[in-house]
Amino acid sequence: MKRIKYVHGGFTASEISLGCMRMGGLSVTEADRVIQTAIDEGIDFFDHADIYGGGSAEEKFAEALSAYPGARVKIILQSKCGIRNGQYDFSKEHILSSVEGILKRLRTDYLDVLLLHRPDTLMEPEEVAEAFDILHNSGKVRHFGVSNQNPMQMELLGRYLNQKIIANQLQLSITNTGMIDAGLNVNMRNEATINRDGGVLEYCRLKEITIQPWSPFQYGFFSGVFLGNEKFPELNAKIDEMSKKYGVPNTAIAIAWILRHPAKMQPIIGTMNPQRIKDICKASSIEMSRTDWYDIYLSAGNKLP
């Protein structure tokens, strides 16, 4: 497994991470197998959120990990907070109480990374900064980031923070390429030219903020997977062609396509199937060509101006 560098975090991590949203529905034995498979494949970065399974995902992960003394210091734990029923909440009180709950459920003294889960338009950045200072100075959170935020939202927050934003979790897959499309269609009068996120891809590259693509196999907003889907015949034909060319499963091609981008992103995979984890991790061994990358992009229905 290749590794990526978190420039502002001062650490490296596996270039593929495991999202644990679905872990709450597993038995401890099943969760153990998932975690061990991921580690065996070179994954050392695990992504959580306080809302996943109502906290059960974090609890199940911790219970399974407890069977391996000393494992905590060998992995990177990330969790997210800020989503409540029917609202977002970046208040100081909510952030602090959320982290206390996360640490308790994960049975750890600290988080390596804490992300703010989606933007809160009622955010008071001074309050967030106070919460982050308390968490950082107490050793409860080492690094901070955001999810689904545009450049100006990060600029506003960063003005008050004493820590660098090291990550931004954003939706990206072969069929969800908005952040890429706008940059390829500059100065054009078509749908793809609409800049919906303020140039977040280029901003994160400039600021050395690691993009963590979520739902890398989904199309739409959790509409389903595109692999093997009859709605995407041309795309699947091309992916199958690439699978044969590179000698890996189609899931690995979908992830290798993301890894090929020079932004050095870290896709988050959410499968709880050990064999699927093994298949996906083969993406790290692929050096996809520029031509193959564009061929896949175009086969998804995208057009170049």
Which residues neighbour 97 within 8 Å (Cβ) at sequence distance 6 or greater? none
Distance CA 194, CA 243 (A): 32
Alpha-carbon distance values, 3 to 11, 75, 253, 264 (Å): 10, 13, 18, 10
The closest of 157, 83, 88 to 125, measured between CA atoms, is: 157
DSSP state of 248: S
Task: Report the 10 Å Cβ neighbour count for 209.
Answer: 25
Q: Please work out, in degrees rounded to the nearest 5, the angle formed at the alpha carbon of residue 12 by the alpha carbons of 137 and 270.
A: 95
Active site residue 52: yes
209: amino acid identity, one letter: I
SS3 of residue 40 by DSSP: helix
Distance CA 46, CA 34 (A): 11
The closest of 205, 274, 259, 227 to 1, measured between CA atoms, is: 259
Catalytic residue selected from 6, 52, 203, 219: 52
CB 115 within 8 A of CB 147: yes
Distance CA 199, CA 189 (A): 17
The region that residue 186 occupies, defined by phi over 0 for left and psi between -120 and 50 for alpha, beta otherwise, is beta
Distance CA 198, CA 260 (A): 22
Q: Return phi, psi of residue 119, to 5°.
A: -75, 145
Sign of the Cα pseudo-torsion (287, 215, 90, 100, in order): negative
Q: Which residues are catalytic?
A: 52
